[in-house]
Amino acid sequence: MPWVLIVIVVLLVLSVVGGIASYNRFVSQKNLIKDAWANIDTELRRRYDLIPNIIETVKGYATHEREVFENVTKARSMATAATGSPAEQAAAEGPLIAALRQLFAVVEAYPDLKANQNFLALQSELSNTEDRLQTARRFYNANVRDYNRRVQSFPSMVVARFGGFKEEEFFEVDESLRGDAGVPKVDFNAASGGAPATPPAAPPAAPPATPTSQAEEPPPPPPATTT
C-alpha cells in the first residue's frame, strides 16, 4: 500500500511539473507570436508611408491617371485603418496590392518616369520592404503553426483548455493576389521597368573573308620540236 501511494504521489508531482512547463511554453509561444506580428506591422506601416510619395512622383508624369491614384489612395486608407485580427488585416491588403499593381502598370507607359532617380529610389525601398515583409510573414506563420499544433495535440491541449490558450490566425492573402510564395507581393521589377532582362548573346561574328588570290597564269606551252 505505501508503494502504491508513493507511485501516485510521484505521478501527481510529475503531472503538475509537466503542466507548469507546458503552460510556460504556451506563454513563451504567445509572446513570440506577438513579437512576430509586431515585425509584420512595422513593415506594413513602412510600406504605407512610402505609397503617398510614389503616387506624387507618378503624378508628375501621368497627371490624367486620376482613377488609378484614387484607387491606390482609397485602398491604402482602408489598409491603414485595419487594426483587427491578422485575417482582417490580410483582407484589407488584397485591394491595396491590386491597386499597386495597377499603378505600376501605368508606369510602363512612361520611360522618363522609369528612369527618374527619385522614383527608382522609392521603388527600391518598396521592393526591399516587400522582401522584409515576406520574411516576417514566414516567421510569424511558422510560430503560429507550431503553437496551434500544441493547442490541438494531446496532452498539451488539456493545458491549453485550462489556461485559455486558443488557436491563432495565420497572416495570408488570397492566392490570386500573392506573389510567388508569401506575403502580398507585387512584382515591381516586371511592372515598373526594374532590372532589365539580360540581352540575348550576339551571334558569333563571321570570320573575315580571306582575300581572293590572283589566279595563277597557266604555264607557257612547251617549245615546238622540229623533226
pLDDT score recorded for residue 200: 39
The grid cell for 121 is 529610389
Q: How many angstroms separate the first and last alpha carbons of the chain?
A: 151
Closest CA to 192 of 116, 94, 106: 106
- Summarize the confidence of residues 146-158 as an average pLDDT: 93
pLDDT score recorded for residue 202: 43
- Per-residue model confidence as pLDDT tens digits over 78-90: 999 887 788 888 8
Residue 222 has pLDDT above 80, yes or no: no
The grid cell for 117 is 532617380
Alpha-carbon distance of 91 to 177, in angstroms, equals: 11
Residue 97 has pLDDT above 60, yes or no: yes
pLDDT score recorded for residue 1: 56
**Mean pLDDT across the chain:** 79
Q: Is the dihedral of CA 52, 57, 63, 65 positive or negative?
A: negative
The fraction of the chain above a pLDDT of 90, given in percent, is 49
Rg (CA), the chain: 34
Which is more confidently placed, 4 or 92? 92
Which is more confidently placed, 88 or 186? 88
- Domains, in order of start, for the chain: 2-191 (1.20.1440.20)
pLDDT score recorded for residue 12: 85
Closest CA to 190 of 71, 101, 130, 75: 101
The 3-class secondary structure across 159-217, one letter per residue, is: HHHHHCCCCCCCCCCCHHHCCCCCCCCCCHHHHCCCCCCCCCCCCCCCCCCCCCCCCCC
Residue 53 has pLDDT above 90, yes or no: yes
Residue 204 has pLDDT above 90, yes or no: no
